[in-house]
Amino acid sequence: MLVSVNPADGAELARFPLHTEREVDAALADAASAQATWRRVPITERVELLRRMASVLRAGKAGYARLITEEMGKPLAEAEGEIEKCAWNCDFYADQAPAFLADEIIASSASHSAVVFDPLGVVLAIMPWNYPFWQFFRFAAPALAAGNGALLKHANNVPRCALAIEDVMRAAGCPTGLFRTLLIDAGSVAGIIADDRIAAVTLTGSTEVGAIVAAQAGKALKKQVLELGGSDPFIVLADADVEAAAMAAVKARYVNVGQSCVNAKRFIVDNRVAERFVEAFCRHAAALKMGDPLQQGVSIGPMARANLRATLHDQVERSLAAGAVLKMGGAIVEGPGFFYPATVLDHVTPDMAAFREETFGPVAAIIRVDGADEAVALANDTEFGLGAALWTADVEAATRLARRIDAGAVFVNGIVASDPRLPFGGIKRSGYGRELGSYGIREFVNLKTLWVGPVKAA
């Protein structure tokens, strides 16, 4: 049984029975059959499905956003932005997929040679709760445009969102069986991955779960794309616009109540501007309103689950015990719901939990350094490598420093964010493979060499 709980008050919203083995098997059979037909539909027709998906999302934005907020706690304005971003992604791939997947002609000794992009088949998407619509649609739009089918195993605490996604796809006229939501527990995943009707797997989630899924998919020799944890550095050099950097840093840390792999988490600040940065950061963080995420003006809603809040608070307490300085927050909010205040820890060092571990919630760790070289060294002193931000007035120097930072993306004087036009993903224990952009749509295709004779005359 999957239980939907409102994290703002702990109230149960709904219960859903798990799909039986027979129902899962039928979904696999239907998806394989539907995809065999879908792959033969011209791409110019396939992308029309994406346009309809965008229209359905926009038409139902208010309802879908409220559903997100009720089920995982995101402030309502951010949930509305999530739905709009999903629609934008669908529109982007509807416009660009035909060009991204056009045959690539390559000169060779043949009379004609090219790389063609064929779909792999049915992809199992294992998705997290923190962006319950976006994480799915950023995968689904390019995957479906490329001719694949999809089955969704969503996080168990967002079953209403998972079923709403199925409603979106149905309303958009997705061919019967090409997409299904599977209400299953984690123990059922390995068997589905091993099933011959699944061609590949994509997962967004924790590093620990990613390692398990990678092992299961690797044993079955299935292609994987993994977007995993992160402990993104936000570097502020001595010549940066400190006020602008601090304002951006607060947004980068506390958006989605700090529950994102690509949130800035470690704020690495040059000692020459550290005091000014900490003052400005705390001033902007203190202005964030915590409360009912359905209410206008609220920036800090509840965390998604009680156990996540307990883990975060333990990281804060261990960091304080190791010598970090508490500037604000740091205490569990009493009363209903899973609230935790915007928290700032100063004088964090690499031996502390707030530096070494991923803090998945509204806690900022400030690390003071002497110069750019130490900043980059500490930015790279982590098992993760998803995103990074670098703030400086010297953009030319920043582009050189960016090449020294171990990350899938480096944003100079900006906040790291996913964008349909740009590839997104990480290195090290943040995963592998890419989503979005032209690179993302080619993850779940067969790059097939086509060689046509007779051989050209010498």
Question: What positions carry a catalytic annotation?
Answer: 227, 261
Residue 179 to residue 38: CA distance in whole angstroms: 11
325, 349, 363, 379 from 328: Cα distances, Å = 9, 18, 10, 24
Tell me whether the omega of the peptide bond preceding residue 454 falls within 30 degrees of 0, making it cis: yes
Residue 314, CB half-sphere, CA atoms under 13 Å: how many?
A: 8
The strand pairing partners of 233, in sequence order, are 266
Mapped onto helix, strand or coil, the DSSP state of residue 346 is: strand
Residue 228 to residue 310: CA distance in whole angstroms: 21
Please give the single-letter amino acid code of residue 363: V
* Beta carbons of 282 and 325 less than 8 angstroms apart: no
Residue 399 to residue 248: CA distance in whole angstroms: 19
* Beta carbons of 3 and 15 less than 8 angstroms apart: yes
Residue 108, CB half-sphere, CA atoms under 13 Å: how many?
A: 15
Question: At residue 235, what are phi and psi to the nearest 5 degrees?
Answer: -95, 130
Identify which of 214, 261, 254 has the alpha carbon closest to the alpha carbon of residue 358. 261
Q: Is the dihedral of CA 35, 37, 42, 44 positive or negative?
A: negative
